[in-house]
Structure 1
Amino acid sequence: MVSASVAALLLAVVTAPASAQCGGASWYALTSKTASGERMNPAAMTAAHRTLPFGTKLRVTNKRNGRSVVVRINDRGPFVRGRILDLSKAAAAKLGFIRAGHTRVCLQRS
């Protein structure tokens, strides 16, 4: 039997929105096909993530300057240790890290 306080805690965990995932991000501007089969468009607001389903929309926030953008997952990656997302050049520009090449971000499903 589960106590009322444990049941309330379980309900809060199940119904709470997913917490943000934070880590490194970089950008890429290829013109080849993505893992989803569509052609990579550097001007589109898209990103690569290792496991999220294609089509997932994420709000990505640059932790260094507070800028955020919504992107759609259409590729797999990144394949660099410590990075959780590869963004299109357009998304990186909106987030303000083109020159740096990489930054720290937090992700939330949009």
Structure 2
Amino acid sequence: MPFPLSRAAAFVLALMSALPAAAERAEAAECGRASWYALTGRTASGMRADPTGFYAAHRTLPFGTRIRVENLHNGRVVEVRVNDRGPFVRGRIVDVTKAAAAKLGFISAGTAPVRVTVVGRETAAKSC
């Protein structure tokens, strides 16, 4: 016989079971502006920041998620892994490391219009 749960415990269990479903309902692509940063401390995931690696900060995607970032001005693409939270500037959807920004070609500009796609969910491409 199962043990009785308090209302709070039942709520937490229901919330935890809904989180994976919410992640699956996320859009296949997200469009907006990207910026770059050269953090040298610790990231929100606890990793030591590496500006020479290919990492990104995203507000909602789980840590470890691989995303494809495409610069809409020049068509350059890079694949990065989410290991931090941010950006915290209105209108921006992702921050990438300096190395990723160099590959995308927007270091001097500071920001660029991008399409962000979760790797493995590329089937439904969204136009920006």
TM norm structure 1: 0.83
**8 Å CA contact retained: 2:28, 2:118:** no
- Identical aligned pairs, as a percentage? 65
| 5+ long unaligned stretches in structure 1 | 1-17
Q: Counterparts of 2:82 and 2:28 in 1: how far apart (Å)?
A: 18
* Residue number in structure 2 paired with 1:84: 93
- Shift of residue 19 of structure 1? 2.8
Is 1:70 equivalent to 2:45 in the alignment? no
State the Cα deviation string for residues 44-79 of structure 1 (Å, max 9, x = none).
Answer: 000000010000000100000000000000000000
* Residue number in structure 1 paired with 2:59: 50
Larger Rg computed on CA atoms? 2
State the Cα deviation string for residues 76-98 of structure 1 (Å, max 9, x = none).
Answer: 00000000000000000000000
TM norm structure 2: 0.71
* Residue number in structure 2 paired with 1:25: 34
* Residue number in structure 1 paired with 2:9: none
* Residue number in structure 2 paired with 1:38: 47
The one-letter code sitting in structure 1 at the alignment partner of 2:72 is K
The CA RMSD over aligned residues, in Å, is 1.2
| 5+ long unaligned stretches in structure 2 | 1-26, 120-128
The one-letter code sitting in structure 2 at the alignment partner of 1:70 is E
SS at match of 2:101: helix
The one-letter code sitting in structure 1 at the alignment partner of 2:89 is V
The one-letter code sitting in structure 1 at the alignment partner of 2:111 is H
SS at match of 2:86: coil
* Residue number in structure 2 paired with 1:15: none
SS at match of 1:24: strand
